[in-house]
Amino acid sequence: MTAPTLFDQPARPVPAPAGAGPAPRTYTITLKAGLKLLNANQRPHHHQKAKITRELRGAAMEAVAEHDTLMTDLAAAKPGPLLQRAHILGVLHPATARRADPANWYPSFKAAVDGLVDAGVLEDDDHTRLLGPDMRLGSVVKGGQLVLRIRELAPGEQWPDLKAATR
């Protein structure tokens, strides 16, 4: 077992700038441990990849359904999506303490984010609505586990400027 990391701590709301209105909503979605995950370095048969993708999407929808606060907020937001814009931090809790590159599990995080869209948390996961998922490594969990930390982007909160420098 490894020592707890920053990403093992409960999510704390980010304070809104003075006069910006209420603090953005935050949610932590924890998928059940032991799910089969997709790794960008794997080359599974397309039927196997589709099956794992479906399972991850379904697991994310199930985790949303088990989150009481999120379900209450989703019901209040109907018929539209809960969040207009959000940032997602994806934490990979590996099954072992071996070295890991959490970005290699992007296909798993993508499937889980698609499950959030299916559940109505976001209307879509395109660049106008979603920043991330940014993948990080958490502590070891038996069987491995994905955790999604969702933070609503407040109205007027700007995206980072990622334009290349011009000469």
pLDDT at residue number 87: 95
Whole-angstrom distance, CA of residue 106 vs CA of residue 3: 24
pTM: 0.83
Contact 14, 152 (CB under 8 A): no
Whole-number Å distance between alpha carbons of 37 and 30: 14
Closest CA to 132 of 151, 117, 158: 151
Q: Could you report the per-residue pLDDT of 12-40, keeping only the tens digit for each? A: 555 545 555 677 899 999 999 999 999 99
β-sheet with 145-152: strand ranges across: 26-30, 145-152, 86-93, 130-137
Angle at 71 between CA 68 and CA 75, to 5 degrees: 140
Q: What per-residue confidence (pLDDT) applies to 24?
A: 86
- Residue 14 CB coordination number (10 Å): 14
108, pLDDT greater than 90: yes
Amino acid 99: pLDDT: 93
Over residues 40-69, the pLDDT tens digits come to 999 999 999 999 999 999 999 999 999 999
Pairing of strands 130-137, 145-152: unpaired
Burial classification of residue 126, based on how many CB atoms lie within 10 Å of its CB (0-12 exposed, 13-18 middle, 19 or more buried): exposed
Does residue 115 carry a pLDDT above 70? yes
